[in-house]
């Protein structure tokens, strides 16, 4: 099954949500599923085909970690959907 997980934050930022999503991704992949993470533009995942990276408009630091935030732009919903459709996401 092709699964997409949408997340405001993901590793390398630190937090319970980020860790939980990463563990969920690993568990699903170990069961043979293809998992795509849709999140903000983290440089660490630029070349990773299992990610759809959304351009970010805001970058800020808090607690020693750099965070990025997505702000919708005209046509952003269609931009994201085109990338997801290419992956034949089931759920």
Cα-trace Rg, the chain: 13
Token pair of 26 as six digits: 């690993």
Q: pLDDT band for position 10 (50/70/90)? A: confident
| CA pair distance 54, 27, nearest whole angstrom | 24
| CA pair distance 73, 39, nearest whole angstrom | 15
Higher pLDDT, 81 or 56: 81
| CA pair distance 69, 8, nearest whole angstrom | 7
The predicted structure's pLDDT at residue 80: 83
pLDDT above 90: residue 77: no
**What's the chain's average pLDDT?**
86
| CA pair distance 17, 23, nearest whole angstrom | 10
Is 0.75 topped by the overall pTM? yes
CB atoms closer than 10 angstroms to residue 79: 13
pLDDT above 90: residue 31: yes
Phi, psi dihedrals of residue 58, rounded to the nearest 5°: -130, 135
């Amino acid at each position: 099954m092709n699964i997409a997980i949408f997340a405001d934050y993901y590793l390398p930022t630190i937090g319970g949500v980020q860790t939980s999503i990463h563990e969920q991704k690993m568990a699903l992949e170990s069961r043979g599923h293809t998992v795509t993470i849709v999140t903000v533009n983290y440089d660490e995942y630029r070349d990773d085909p299992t990610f759809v990276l959304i351009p970010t408009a805001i970058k800020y630091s808090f607690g020693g970690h750099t965070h990025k935030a997505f702000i919708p732009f005209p046509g952003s919903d269609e931009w994201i959907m085109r990338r997801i459709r290419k992956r034949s996401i089931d759920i």
